[in-house]
A = this chain, B = another copy of it.
């Protein structure tokens, strides 16, 4: 059976994702689609709108055959680490292809960019050091250096988030000497971070979340941008838990953590940097919301995303010592499957390069403990008695099976 891998967050699953899935199947001529999906906390350093279990259902009802969780150690990370974890999972699960969305839909520009970087490594490193010395963030320095060195239309526009991710997927494939063939399909017209609706059927997840929060009880505005199962599953989640998760739900917890910790303790947190801890602690005594907190701590040097990721690590108490480790994942955590996905697993699992984890209790591991902790912390966002159900789900929920 031929499998194509996709790397996703589905926050929430929308029509653009459905288009990407169909295009990926077609491009790879594949029998099954395997998704590596972020768990409850996402690459941008935010809690997912709804739990990974609900998003797994969205994925399966919309055509994904297998959903593996991208472990916390990789999910809430910069593009490079995120890509390394995700690619290692797809490779271990026997995917021949990885298909990602990009602006152009042309894989050559990615390949050329990789080769270009390899040939210009020394100048590039020097450049990045120089630009960061002037006080800009790492991604900004990367883009500036690249612009200066490349100076040609053959190369990627690395200021586009999807291009950066694609670039790192291919780089990870190279570095891991993986047999995966990378493919890319052109994205339909919605900018990654677009906050407004621009097309009739395609909208960014950002704009969909914005519309959802604008009027949480009548989300009809999003209907034309998401498939029916997404609509239903969002509705069901809101009924069960009374909210869609967002940072403000976790703000009091973050605030307390900052107020009762010593600077020394905060320094141990992953991504904490010298001097930042005092800034965070001071802002925590002043700010009345997460939004206000972020505005107080933001500087030119650190991107909003970078700071949000640090906040997630503070919230989950993930330390440098917990997050260190291999660039590759250590297990395949199965969140759900279609019947075809089940067939694929039955046929292929003996050849998987990593242990397949269908039940949390059957697998003891430092890395998976971070996922368990993240799930528990995520559940703390729910104020009522449903919190307990969400917390226990991490242990009790068997992989979700959807019969098509």
Taking Cβ atoms with an 8 Å cutoff, the residues of A that contact B are: 252-253, 255-256, 259-262, 265, 285-286, 288, 315-317, 373, 376-377, 380, 383, 385, 387-388, 391-392
Contacts and interface: CB of A to CB of B under 8 A. Distances in A.
Given A252-B380, A288-B387, 10 more contacts: A252-B252, A252-B253, A252-B383, A259-B377, A259-B380, A260-B316, A261-B317, A265-B317, A285-B376, A285-B392
Interface of A is mostly: helix
Nearest to A259: B376
A377 B316 contact: no
Contacts of A256: 253, 377, 380
Contact of A373 (B259, B315, B383): B259
B391 A260 contact: no
B288 A388 contact: yes
Contacts of A252: 252-253, 380, 383
Nearest to A285: B391
A259 B373 CA distance: 7
Contacts of A315: 260
Contacts of A317: 260-262, 265
A93 B253 CA distance: 39
Contacts of A288: 385, 387-388
> Which 6 A-B pairs rank lowest in CB-CB distance, beginning with the nearest?
A260-B317, A259-B376, A256-B380, A253-B256, A260-B316, A260-B377
A285 B387 CA distance: 10
A104 to B, nearest CB: 42
24 contacts: A252-B252, A252-B253, A252-B383, A253-B256, A255-B380, A256-B377, A256-B380, A259-B373, A259-B376, A259-B377, A259-B380, A260-B315, A260-B316, A260-B317, A260-B373, A260-B376, A261-B317, A262-B317, A285-B376, A285-B392, A286-B388, A288-B385, A288-B387, A288-B388
Nearest to A319: B262
